[in-house]
Amino acid sequence: CAGGTTTNSAGSPTAVGPLPLARGKGANSASPITDWCGQQCSGENLSQEDVALLRLLDQVYDGDASERVDCADWEGYMMVETTNGCDNSALYGEIPPASFAELLRRFAVGRGHRFYDLGSGTGKLVTLAALMGLEAVGIELEPGRHRRATAARDALIRRGALRRGGWPRLVQGSILEYDFSDADLIFVDSVAFSPEMMETLARNAAKMKSGAKVVSYK
What span, in angstroms and rounded, lies between the C-alpha atoms of 69 and 37?
Answer: 19
What span, in angstroms and rounded, lies between the C-alpha atoms of 35 and 26?
Answer: 19
pLDDT at 18 over 80: no
Mean pLDDT, range 73-85, rounded to an integer: 93
- The beta strand positions in 78-120, using DSSP E, are 93-94, 114-118
Q: Burial, 25: exposed, middle or buried (Cβ in 10 Å; 0-12, 13-18, 19+)?
A: exposed
Give the three-state DSSP class for 47. Answer: coil
Helix (H) or strand (E) holding 155: helix 143-158
What span, in angstroms and rounded, lies between the C-alpha atoms of 205 and 12?
Answer: 9
Amino acid at 189: D
Instruction: State the helix-helix crossing angle for 124-131 and 143-158, rounded to 10 degrees.
Output: 30
Phi, psi of 171 (to 5 degrees): -110, 130
pLDDT at 8 over 90: no
What span, in angstroms and rounded, lies between the C-alpha atoms of 169 and 130?
Answer: 9
pLDDT at 106 over 90: no
What span, in angstroms and rounded, lies between the C-alpha atoms of 83 and 87?
Answer: 10
Mean pLDDT, range 69-82, rounded to an integer: 92
The overall average pLDDT reported for the chain is 80
Q: Tell me: the pLDDT tens digits for 90-100? A: 988 888 899 99
